[in-house]
Amino acid sequence: MARILLTGGAGYVGSVCCTQLLAREHSVEVVDDLSTGFADAVPPGAVLHQVRIDDQEALSRVLAAKRFDAVFHFAAKASVSKSVLNPGPFFDVNIAGGILLLETLRRHGIRNFVFSSSAAVYGTPRVVPVPEDHPTEPVNPYGESKLIFEQILRTYAAAYGWSVITFRYFNACGAGDGWGERHIPETHVIPLLLQAASGRRGFFEVFGTDYSTPDGTCLRDYVHVLDIAAAHLLAMRKIGQPGFRAYNIGTGNSRSVKEIHKAAESISGKKIAIRSAPRRAGDPPVLCASPQKLLHEFGWTPEHSSLENILVGAWNWEQHQCNEMSAEDMRSSAIS
């Protein structure tokens, strides 16, 4: 059993990975400032510390209390479109805050680090599916912030003998029993489509219909968050081996926005109104992973990532949220 410190464990991917680590009887403590996460997303059995990653004094108190075998770093600002409009906060949190985190960890003798990176480090792919040795040429500040932090981690591995594993996520998605995506505001394709299907929003916007793709809309590689969590569990095998290693997490297949729209209508049984909108700055036309390195070295498979399974779980989660909102409205009416 390992003791893991997990930053961003109140967020979507972090909370699911936390649950899976606990299920394998690892000990998990979560550091999250709850600026975008939710305390109730942290699973029972994990200790939550409401601490910023750049608060070195508070983080030192957490690290001094117990010995941790590794850090899983999920905490970050994550939005391509927002990073284009206002890049400063992304560099502040993802790079400057990340360095303060690393220095605090170094003072406490922690040398095993698993980092949640992004396919955004590749920019507009020259080759599809994208392998890990593809040139890294981000086209938005979010991807730039992830790439810079990867480069910093590479130097820490070389200088201090750290064991660093970087996972470059493609499009994380999916939901399970009582959990799913909760972003405020929501920016991801699948929950936005299903919110339109449930009536929580009037329509779904398609940002760009003139890309050089078969139907003119962006192509993305959608991978279930449970499969992302499975990759992190497999990474435990290499913890303690010095060096920097990067792996894609994706399926090797991509779907267009229009394909996802059609499938969402089929799964929900609802007509989803769409409106065309201009392209968003920083969106490459195609992102599709080559997961061969992860498959070969870890024996990983994306067993939860069929589009039907992703959408069924996400639709159930959307209905759960609608029911929760209806119940809250009823309670408010009764009180008033």
This prediction has a pTM of 0.94
Q: For residue 282, give the nearest of 190, 207, 183, 222 by alpha carbon.
A: 207
Q: What is the mean pLDDT of the chain?
A: 94
Q: Which architecture characterizes domain 3-174+223-249 according to CATH?
A: 3-Layer(aba) Sandwich (3.40)
Residue ranges of E strands in the chain: 3-7, 27-31, 47-49, 70-73, 112-118, 163-169, 171-173, 204-207, 219-220, 222-224, 243-249, 255-256, 274-277, 286-287
Q: What is the pLDDT of residue 334?
A: 43
At residue 251, what is the residue type? T
Q: Beta-carbon neighbour count of residue 100 at 10 Å?
A: 16
Known catalytic membership, residue 142? yes
CA-based Rg of the chain, rounded to a whole angstrom?
20
What integer pLDDT is reported at residue 314 of this predicted model?
97
Q: Output the pLDDT for position 282.
A: 85
pLDDT value of position 229: 98
* DSSP string over 174-210: --BTTB----SS---HHHHHHHHHHTSSS-EEEE-S-
CATH of the structural domain 189-219+253-290+304-329, one choice from 3.40.605.10, 3.40.50.280, 3.30.300.30, 3.90.25.10: 3.90.25.10
Domains 3-174+223-249 and 189-219+253-290+304-329 belong to one CATH topology: no
Residue 254 in tokens: 């991509």
The answer on pLDDT for 329 being more than 90 is: no
Amino acid letter, 3: R
Which one is catalytic: 12, 122, 142, 247? 142
Average pLDDT over residues 259-270: 98
152-179 mean pLDDT: 97
Give the model's pLDDT for residue 328.
58
71 CB contacts (<8 Å, ≥6 apart)? Answer: 4, 5, 6, 7, 105, 110, 112, 113, 114
Q: What is the DSSP letter of 92?
A: I
Domain ranges for the chain, please list them: 3-174+223-249, 189-219+253-290+304-329
